[in-house]
């Protein structure tokens, strides 16, 4: 199978996640769909069960087990210039659209298109523009 990542940090995090026993590529991609690498590392460092339960298919029991397994494996990436802000805006925008009932794939596609046209857009602007893409002309 072929898996694509948006950045080198995301790829490294994906490889660290699939190395955890019982955590497959589907769950790893779902985790990276909700968190950027820094956000995931921060949630693991804080031992934030609630944050991990935002990932589709992960309940409280699984989240607690993953925190034990991920502790020490997932590290904060080295600070980069504006990449964390952009990936955080992407992840937050996708999460907002998913919470509104849109599918993760269609939300990610719309957010990518918005951020490609306006890379400096904040989360609220990105979500508004993405929602406009979902509206079908009458």
pLDDT number for residue 82: 40
Q: Structure pTM?
A: 0.51
Q: For residues 109 and 94, give the distance between their C-alpha atoms in angstroms, rounded to a whole number.
A: 9
What pLDDT, in 10s, does the model give residues 52-81? 999 998 899 989 998 888 887 766 554 444
pLDDT number for residue 115: 87
What pLDDT, in 10s, does the model give residues 7-60? 778 888 888 888 888 888 898 889 988 988 888 888 888 888 999 999 998 899
Residue 2 resides in a domain: no
> In terms of domains, do 59 and 16 share one?
yes
Please, which pLDDT band fits residue 137 given cuts at 50, 70 and 90?
Answer: low
> For residue 120, what are its two tokens?
């400096």
Q: For residues 91 and 109, give the distance between their C-alpha atoms in angstroms, rounded to a whole number.
A: 12
Domain limits for position 130: 83-134
The enclosing domain of 18 has a CATH number of 1.10.150.20
Instruction: Give the total number of structural domains in the chain.
Output: 2
Whether 102 and 134 have beta carbons less than 8 Å apart is answered as: yes
> In terms of domains, do 14 and 60 share one?
yes
> In terms of domains, do 96 and 65 share one?
no
> In terms of domains, do 62 and 29 share one?
yes
> In terms of domains, do 64 and 88 share one?
no
What pLDDT, in 10s, does the model give residues 88-123? 788 889 888 988 888 888 898 999 899 888 888 888
Please, which pLDDT band fits residue 127 given cuts at 50, 70 and 90?
Answer: very high
Residue 1 resides in a domain: no
């Amino acid at each position: 199978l072929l898996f694509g990542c948006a950045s080198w940090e995301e790829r490294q995090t994906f490889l660290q996640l699939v190395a955890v026993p019982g955590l497959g590529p589907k769950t790893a991609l779902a985790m990276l769909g909700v968190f950027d690498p820094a956000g995931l590392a921060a949630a693991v460092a804080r031992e934030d069960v609630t944050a991990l339960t935002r990932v589709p298919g992960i309940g409280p029991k699984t989240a607690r087990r993953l925190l034990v397994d991920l502790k020490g494996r997932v590290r904060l990436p080295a600070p980069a210039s504006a990449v964390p802000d952009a990936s955080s805006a992407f992840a937050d925008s996708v999460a907002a659209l998913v919470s509104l009932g849109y599918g993760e794939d269609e939300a990610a596609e719309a957010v990518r298109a918005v951020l490609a046209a306006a890379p400096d857009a904040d989360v609220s602007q990105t979500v508004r523009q993405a929602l406009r893409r979902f509206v079908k002309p009458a």
